[in-house]
Amino acid sequence: MHYTELVKGKVHWIGVNDRRKRLFENMWPLEKGVSYNSYLILDEKTALVDTLEDRAAGNYIERIEKLLNGRTLDYIIINHMEPDHSGEIKDIYNHFKGVKLIGNQKTFKIVEAYWGITENLLQVDDCASLDLGYHKLKFYMTPWVHWPETMMTYDETDQILFSGDAFGSFGTLDGGIFDDEINDSFFEEEMRRYYSNIVGKYSNMVQKALAKLQGIPVKAVAPTHGPVWRSNPAKVIGLYDRWSRYEAEEGVVIIFASMYGNTEMMADYIGRKLSENGVKNIRIHDISRTHISHLINEIWKYNGLILGSCAYNSEMFPLMENLTRELQHMNIRNKYLGLFGSYSWNGGGVKNLMKFAEEIKLELVADPAEIYGKPSDEKYQQCEVLAKSMAEKIKK
Ligand code: FEO
């Protein structure tokens, strides 16, 4: 895809798909790739909204030149400085002589630190405007969604919100770019994964950003990853509102760490009992098989969370320790929590899960279920209590 028009003759999507990068931020798996979206506004003045990851940029400058058709590029609007969007700034700056960079005070600190650029900067503050001719742009500071300098650019004329990472999804754009061209259920999952992995830690700041944007008519949301939402932008704005309030669907994620299968047997038992108690959405994951990125996504999705760990050198299993630490960093909220585990010679798994529960302050639905040795029918009683209690809580 060279480019495509968001607004006929005036606003062009000029993004790329990246199917080579395996880990986003060198951490989050990209099984289905990712797109980087950049936009070019052709008006009396011309403006590029965000750029691309440099290693995926390909013939980006050529594509811009083709659209400019001999005209000059007047502005680069920098909504976000993470290198997947700022990677091409220096090349564009050097190529289009005299182009002005638009950003805020915090943007320009990073611009200088990354690219050594200190000239041709046009600083904008919250609610500042820029007249391109037909398009009247307005800038909204949305700090910590998810970096300190993040801002959004709103086109008052065509009511397009260039939102940066907000409302973005993992996953390449396989032909369809706009929400009316695709089956968006895949992207809803990948948008939640992007949100929970990358942005969710700053949910309170997302709420502040949404409050700031409330009342602004939005006909299209144009993020820096994933589809452009021009048919039903209210859908993704609503999703972000729910996720940043930690509102979740009814269901339970059971995540277990098991060395010899005993804790796994408990996970399956609890899952069965949840089902017998009427829970329809139950997901069971072995922490040694499923990447934490997907675990966090499912934790965000459902209102019940049950963690199980075997003892490992008198501690919990290291991968479970990593998950609990990540959940603490993310300040996860609004989950009902259940705990279980097993041990063979000394405890440690459940004991340390209890410490986690105390620190994170999620509501424990029952006493933890802990089994010494192999599970058996007579040892499962506490698992049954845990499942019943969780089922009752999540359905309220
Ligand atoms: Fe898509 Fe925060 O970068």
Q: What is the pLDDT of residues 106-145, one digit of tens each?
A: 999 999 999 999 999 999 999 999 999 999 999 999 999 9
pLDDT tens digits along 252-306:
999 999 999 999 999 999 999 999 999 999 999 999 999 999 999 999 999 999 9
Query: Last residue of some domain: 227, 244, 261?
Result: 244
Q: Is the pLDDT of residue 79 over 80?
A: yes
Q: Mean per-residue pLDDT for 338-366? A: 96
Q: Quick check: 3 pLDDT over 90?
A: no
What's the alpha-carbon Rg for the chain, to the nearest Å? 24
The last residue of a domain, from among 244, 267, 290: 244
Q: Quick one: what percent of the chain has pLDDT higher than 90? A: 96
The pLDDT score that the predictor gives to residue 157 is 96
User: Which pLDDT does position 5 carry in this prediction?
Assistant: 83
Position 66, amino acid: K
User: Is the previous residue joined to 146 through a cis bond, with omega within 30 degrees of 0?
Assistant: yes
Q: Using CA atoms, how far apart are residues 58 and 299, in angstroms rounded to an integer?
A: 37
pLDDT at 1 over 70: no
CA dihedral 80, 86, 90, 93 (to 10 degrees): -50
User: Is residue 239 located within the same domain as residue 260?
Assistant: no
Dist. CA 150–CA 75, nearest whole Å: 18
Q: How far, in Å, is the centroid of ligand 1 from the Cα of 36?
A: 9
Give the Å distance between the CA of 290 and the centre of ligand 1: 23
Same-domain check for residues 85 and 22: yes
Enumerate residues 6+ apart whose C-beta is below 8 A from 206.
145, 166, 199, 240, 243, 244
- Mean pLDDT value across residues 234-263: 98
Beta bridge partners of 17: 35
396 pLDDT band, cuts 50/70/90, is: confident
CA of 158 from ligand 1 middle (Å) equals 25
Does 148 share its domain with 267? no
Within this chain, do residues 240 and 260 fall inside the same structural domain, yes or no? no
pLDDT at 8: 75
Q: How many angstroms is it from 85 CA to the middle of ligand 1?
A: 7
How many domains does the chain contain in total? 2
What percent of the chain has pLDDT above 70? 99
CATH number of the domain where residue 186 is located: 3.60.15.10
Instruction: Please indicate whether residue 150, judged by its CB atom, sits closer than 6 Å to ligand 1.
Output: no
- Closest residue CA from atom 3 of ligand 1: 82
| CA of 224, closest atom in ligand 1 | 1
105 C-beta neighbours (distance < 10 Å), count: 12
Distance CA 393, CA 239 (A): 23
Residue 2's pLDDT is: 64
Q: Judge if 227 and 277 occupy the same domain.
A: no
Mean pLDDT of 368-382: 95
Using CA atoms, how far residue 390 sits from 28, 215, 251, 277, 378, in Å, is: 30, 39, 10, 9, 21
Which residue has the least CA distance to atom 1 on ligand 1? 165
Range of the domain at 185: 5-244
Domain's final residue, options 194, 224, 244? 244
pLDDT value, residue 184 = 85
pLDDT tens figures, 9-24: 799 999 999 999 999 9
Q: Is 340 found in the same domain as 263?
A: yes
pLDDT per position as a tens digit, 164-194: 999 999 999 999 999 999 988 899 999 999 9
- What is the pLDDT at residue 155? 97
**Under 8 Å between Cβ of 162 and 6:** no
Q: Are residues 173 and 265 in the same domain?
A: no
Kindly state the tokens that stand for 111: 């611009």
Q: Which atom of ligand 1 is nearest to the CA of 146?
A: 2
Name which residue sits closest to atom 2 of ligand 1, judged by CA. Answer: 82
Residues 159 and 258 in one domain: no
